[in-house]
């Protein structure tokens, strides 16, 4: 009988693939993460089904889309009576644990279930001296969150029942905003020379209204805390509030002929600006410096876990996965954050090592999504995949045996229309190997104000081969009419397959009535 593999699933929060050096951007160095890729496989087209923390985590845990698990927004927490992958593995004899960021709600109705051991941060958690919750209540843990979460994982591994395989979910809070690096990494990337994305000065022309309306701009929407700056005393004259009722304010722009003085919160260094373009680049460099410094701790702690597996003789029989709960904008289109179906937000990094089955040093361009993770764990554990799970086991993909019948589209739906922080619009769509179709439905049909009194629904179609930065919407381009119809068909089939109700009427759309979806 083949020995069942251990599963070590490591997930960070908001870690863009471009900020992992094995993905080739040249931004930073992540030698321990690269080791997983070099000794296993890197996925280039792994996509999130809802690019926001809480829904993504629910999809990963349950193997279902958010309209099924009902975790559609940051405020819809999981019903922990639902079945999940940990429960199945535990019932099959695995020892299970989760440490770190949970973000699926607190209290008896929402706390982790299916885990022999667990300790999680409330909400987003803190970087320094975080509160952690376990079955016994809350405890303040002295130290840095990334180190502490790893310590708890190592304690679990060293004290585990060696007669059982383990399933361990190591969920880092880092590098979630606001970015707070450990002091040992504050010297990294501090020379102000990080490369600026080609689309940093995007003017959002040739796109739908959502791109221009989003409040995720590095130029205008980052706070003093985000950038490690002292927030001066005062009101609107020192910057707009992040949201009404909060104390955090955004770093303002500077008008030509005026002067803006900013103070480093750690060193006290003064930075003076009179040029808006110079100030925008300063904000970008500060954002990226702190973000990448925070990631440095994640990479170090992944190395600690890999070293433990080596020392304990567990490397050969342990599946190691590293991913993030979604992608993240690193200045592309001038943005930070996620939420959108645009590529930088949609793509999840995914690295996997399992020496007996996954060929070392390989790269896959096949499409996978986060609802596929749970079925994959069960497949490798020899546990039947339950009928309620909507994802597919990635095992054929990982073992280079996926044929022509492998899934050819990824489906994404973001439900949080015009949240007060980011003003991102509700949308759904599909991505295949080349094209992406997005429908900005903005408000569900039948809801007050839906499709009226606000932004009309819009379609976007991108040719990701010819237009990798997604700067040219081809939805109304006659040259792409057949492709639009083909992608619309793929969207309809996928929504029917997973049981998600559309907000559009394809007959009306193809008849030329796109602005009034749902009207026959």
Largest CA distance in the chain: 76
Is 322 in contact with 351 (CB distance < 8 Å)?
A: yes
Strand pairing class (435-440; 427-431): antiparallel
**449 has pLDDT over 50:** no
Phi, psi dihedral angles at 321 (to 5 degrees): -125, 135
pLDDT of residue 275: 94
> Can you tell me the mean pLDDT for 480-501?
97
CATH architecture of 410-516: 2-Layer Sandwich (3.30)
Question: β-strand 368-369 against 41-47: which pairing, if any?
Answer: parallel
Asked if residue 297 lies in contact with residue 181, where contact means CB atoms within 8 angstroms, the answer is yes
Residue 264: phi, psi to the nearest 5?
-65, 125
Q: pLDDT tens digits, residue range 24-40? A: 999 999 999 999 999 99
Distances (CA, A) of 86 to 259, 377, 490, 498: 56, 9, 32, 22
d(CA 497, CA 491): 10
Handedness of CA 277, 278, 282, 285 (dihedral sign): positive
Cα distance between residue 278 and residue 275, in whole Å: 5
The per-residue b/e assignment along 445-457, b for 16 or more CB within 10 angstroms, e otherwise, is beeeebbeeebeb
Rounded to whole angstroms, the Cα distance separating 165 from 317 reads: 9
Which pLDDT band, with edges at 50, 70 and 90, does 516 fall under? very low
Provide the H-helix boundaries in 240-320: 276-311
What pLDDT was estimated at residue 456? Answer: 77
- Please tell me the predicted confidence (pLDDT) of residue 445: 53
* All residues at 6 or more sequence positions from 235 whose CB lies less than 8 Å from its CB, including other chains: none
Interval 46-73 mean pLDDT: 98
What integer is the mean pLDDT of 361-365? 97
Q: How many angstroms separate the CA atoms of 272 and 63, rounded?
A: 51
pLDDT score, position 513: 53
% of the chain residues with pLDDT over 90? 92
- Confidence band of 444 (pLDDT split at 50, 70, 90): low
Four-CA torsion 511, 516, 518, 520, nearest 10 degrees:
-50
Instruction: Look at residue 19 and tell me whether its pLDDT is greater than 90.
Output: yes
pLDDT, tens digit (0-9, with 9 covering 90-100), for 299-321: 999 999 999 999 999 999 999 99
pLDDT value for 181:
98
Extents of the domains making up the chain? 6-181+295-340+371-398, 410-516
The DSSP letter of residue 54 is: H
**What mean pLDDT value characterizes the chain?**
94
pLDDT digits (tens, 9 = 90+) for 387-413: 999 999 999 999 999 888 899 999 999
Average pLDDT over residues 69-82: 96
Q: How far apart are CA 46 and CA 23, in angstroms?
A: 13
pLDDT, tens digit (0-9, with 9 covering 90-100), for 179-238? 999 999 999 999 999 999 999 999 999 999 999 999 999 999 999 999 999 999 999 999
Say yes or no: do domains 6-181+295-340+371-398 and 410-516 share a fold: no
250 CA to centre of own chain = 23
Average pLDDT over residues 357-371: 98
The 3-state DSSP class for residue 18 equals: helix
Distance of CA 455 to the CA centre of its chain: 26
Using the predicted structure, report yes or no on whether residue 169 has a pLDDT greater than 70.
yes
Q: What is the DSSP letter of 385?
A: P
pTM for the model stands at 0.95
Asked if 171 contacts 99 with a C-beta cutoff of 8 angstroms, the reply is: yes
Cβ burial of 190 (10 Å; 0-12, 13-18, 19+) is middle
Residue 451 has pLDDT above 90, yes or no: no
Q: Is the pLDDT of residue 344 over 80?
A: yes
Q: Tell me the CATH number for domain 6-181+295-340+371-398.
A: 3.40.720.10
| DSSP-assigned letter for residue 238 | G
User: Which single residue is written with the structure tokens 């016994």?
Assistant: 136
> Tokens for 517?
């979806």
Mean pLDDT of 8-19: 98
- Parallel/antiparallel/unpaired status of strands 260-263 and 117-121: unpaired
What's the count of helices (H) and strands (E) in the chain, helices before strands?
Answer: 12, 17
Residue 403, pLDDT score: 86
Do residues 312 and 157 touch, judged by C-beta distance below 8 A? yes
For the chain, what is the radius of gyration of the CA atoms?
23
pLDDT of residue 2: 64
Give the containing element (helix H, strand E) for 375. Answer: helix 373-381
pLDDT tens figures, 260-308: 999 999 999 999 999 999 999 999 999 999 999 999 999 999 999 999 9
């Amino acid at each position: 009988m083949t020995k069942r593999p251990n599963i070590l699933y490591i997930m960070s929060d908001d870690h863009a693939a471009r900020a992992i050096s094995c993905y080739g951007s040249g931004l930073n160095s992540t030698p321990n993460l690269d080791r997983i890729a070099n000794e296993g496989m890197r996925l280039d087209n792994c996509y999130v089904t809802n690019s926001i923390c809480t829904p993504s985590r629910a999809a990963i845990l349950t193997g279902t889309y958010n309209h099924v698990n009902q975790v559609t927004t940051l405020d819809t927490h999981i019903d922990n009576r639902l079945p999940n992958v940990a429960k199945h593995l535990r019932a099959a004899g695995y020892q299970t644990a989760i440490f770190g960021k949970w973000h699926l709600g607190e209290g008896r109705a929402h706390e982790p279930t299916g885990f022999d051991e667990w300790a999680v941060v409330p909400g987003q958690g803190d970087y320094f001296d975080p509160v952690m919750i376990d079955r016994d209540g809350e405890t303040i843990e002295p130290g840095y969150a990334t180190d502490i979460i790893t310590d708890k994982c190592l304690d679990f591994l060293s004290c585990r029942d060696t007669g059982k395989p383990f399933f361990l979910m190591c969920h880092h809070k880092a590098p979630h905003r606001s970015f707070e690096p450990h002091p040992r990494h504050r010297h990294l990337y501090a020379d102000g020379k990080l490369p600026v994305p080609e689309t940093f000065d995007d003017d959002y022309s040739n796109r739908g209204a959502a791109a221009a309306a989003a409040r995720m701009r590095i130029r205008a929407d980052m706070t003093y805390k985000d950038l490690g700056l002292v927030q001066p005393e005062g009101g609107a004259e020192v910057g707009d509030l992040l949201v009404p009722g909060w104390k955090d304010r955004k770093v303002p722009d500077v008008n030509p002929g005026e002067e803006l003085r900013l103070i480093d919160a750690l060193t006290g260094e003064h930075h003076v600006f009179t040029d808006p373009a110079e100030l925008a680049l300063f904000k970008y460099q500060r954002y990226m410096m702190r973000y990448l410094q925070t990631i440095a701790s994640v990479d170090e702690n992944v190395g600690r876990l890999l070293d433990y597996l080596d020392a304990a003789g567990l490397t050969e029989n342990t599946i190691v996965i590293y991913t993030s709960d979604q992608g993240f904008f690193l200045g592309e289109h001038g943005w930070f954050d996620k939420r959108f179906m645009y590529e930088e937000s949609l793509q999840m990094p995914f690295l996997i090592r399992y020496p007996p089955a996954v060929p070392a040093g390989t790269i896959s361009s096949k499409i996978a999504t986060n609802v596929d993770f749970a079925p994959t764990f069960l497949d490798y554990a020899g546990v039947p995949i339950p009928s309620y799970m909507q994802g597919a086991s990635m095992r054929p993909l990982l073992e280079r045996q996926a044929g022509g019948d492998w899934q050819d589209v990824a489906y994404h739906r973001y439900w949080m229309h015009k949240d007060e922080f980011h003003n991102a619009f509700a949308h759904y769509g599909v991505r295949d190997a080349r094209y992406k179709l997005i429908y900005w439905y903005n408000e569900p049909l039948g809801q007050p104000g839906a499709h009226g009194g606000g932004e009309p629904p819009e379609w976007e179609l991108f040719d990701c081969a010819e237009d990798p930065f997604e700067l040219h919407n081809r939805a109304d381009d006659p040259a792409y009419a057949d492709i639009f119809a083909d992608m619309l068909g793929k969207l309809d089939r996928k929504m029917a397959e997973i049981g998600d109700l559309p907000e559009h009427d394809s007959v009306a759309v193809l008849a030329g009535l796109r602005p009034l979806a749902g009207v026959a």
